[in-house]
Structure formats: C-alpha cells, structure tokens
Amino acid sequence: MTSRISFASALFALALPLVASGQTDPAAPAPTPTPAAPTAPAAAPLAPSPNLVAAGDIVATLKSSPHFTILARALDAAQLTAVVSSTPSLTLFAPTDDAFNALPPALLAKLLSPDNAPTLQKILIYHLVHLDLDTGKIKGAKGSVASVENSQLQLDGSADVLKVNDASIIQADVKASNGFIQVVDKVLVPADVTLPSASAAIPSTSPGG
C-alpha cells in the first residue's frame, strides 16, 4: 500500500548573598545571611551544525552526509524515499542522527520495524511542508503551517534561534534540487499519532501536544 501511493495521501553569574558592613553589637546574634537569589539554569547549547551540503535532491543530499543515516533509513523503511526525492517544492525539517538517538532506544527500534511502517510514515511526513520554505519566510514572524501529514507545525522566527514546535533549526536553507532542508535537533511527533509501546515514550512535540 505504501509503496504506490499518491503524494497527497501517503506523505502522511553566580548570585552571592550580600553581607552588611559596619559595627555590630558583640552580644547580638550573628546576622543571618540573605539567601542567594536562585539563578536560572543555563540554556543548553545548540547542537553543532552538521554542515550539510546540497548534493542533488533532498534524499541524495541527506545520504551524502554521515549525520542523517537514521533519517535516510527511516525514509526507506516507510517507502517514502522515491516520492521525497522526486516531488518538487518540498521543505524537510530534517532531524539529525543525534536527534533520533535522543529517543528511547526501544521506541526507535519499534518505529523502524516493518510492523510500525504506517506510524513511521506519519511521523516523517509531519516533517514535510509542500512549500519552498526558506528561513527568510520565518525570520521575524510567528505562525503555523500545514505539514504534509495535515497537522500544523508552529514556526517561531522571533528570536535569534529559529524554532519549529520545540525544535531548533541548527542549520538553515540547504537548497536541494527539489526544495529546502532545514536541519533540526529534535524529532517532531504529531498529536494525532499514537506511538508504539516501548519501555519509555516521548511526549508529542506538536503545538499544544
């Protein structure tokens, strides 16, 4: 079924306490230091860019890099490689191998198994937009765009780091022959997908999910 499906239907500074200065009464109890104000946790550094370089169509470009082996394997397993290679005007939000490896190992193994190909296909097409979506259309704006899976992706270009849902774009605007690749640091899961049971699961990364 999934091998011959139409594009529309199948591309589913550390704060210290201040000590008062001046004379104190020796008999008086020692002053209690003012507790340090809590400091916000440091933001996690962005994953390094994989330095992806265009090398033909979207899939050929992914396969030319050692950082997208799981995504390329997933596209093959979901029988999406041919259509993603040949359909024009696509944008793929492409998770790196590090992003896939952040999933619970048991869950990733189940997603890649033949029994879960329909679920994997829906997850993968949630990363696709049928538009040439370069970051010039995202920067300085916030809004949603429909994925090929039909669920909405929330784009946020209001800060220095561009976001899609809660994933960061760590390399932008890789121009393949049939569209753009925007490299992201997380796997996106639409709210209407039920993940296969595993020893652990990941939360939905769709807006409001």
Q: Does domain 54-184 have CATH number 2.30.180.10?
A: yes
Boundaries of every domain in the chain: 54-184
Read off the pLDDT band of 43 (50, 70, 90).
low
pLDDT-wise least confident of 30-39, 51-60, 64-73 = 30-39
Tell whether the model's pLDDT for residue 19 goes beyond 80: no
If you average pLDDT over every residue of the chain, what do you get? Answer: 81
- Once rounded to an integer, what is the mean pLDDT over residues 58-78? 98
User: Is the pTM above the cut of 0.85?
Assistant: no
Percent of the chain scoring above 90 in pLDDT: 68
CB-based contacts of 47, cutoff 8 Å, min separation 6: 96, 98, 99, 168, 170, 185
Q: What pLDDT was estimated at residue 45?
A: 62
**What separation, in Å, do the N-terminal and C-terminal C-alpha atoms of the chain show?**
29
Read off the pLDDT band of 48 (50, 70, 90).
confident
Q: Residue 62 corresponds to which amino acid?
A: L
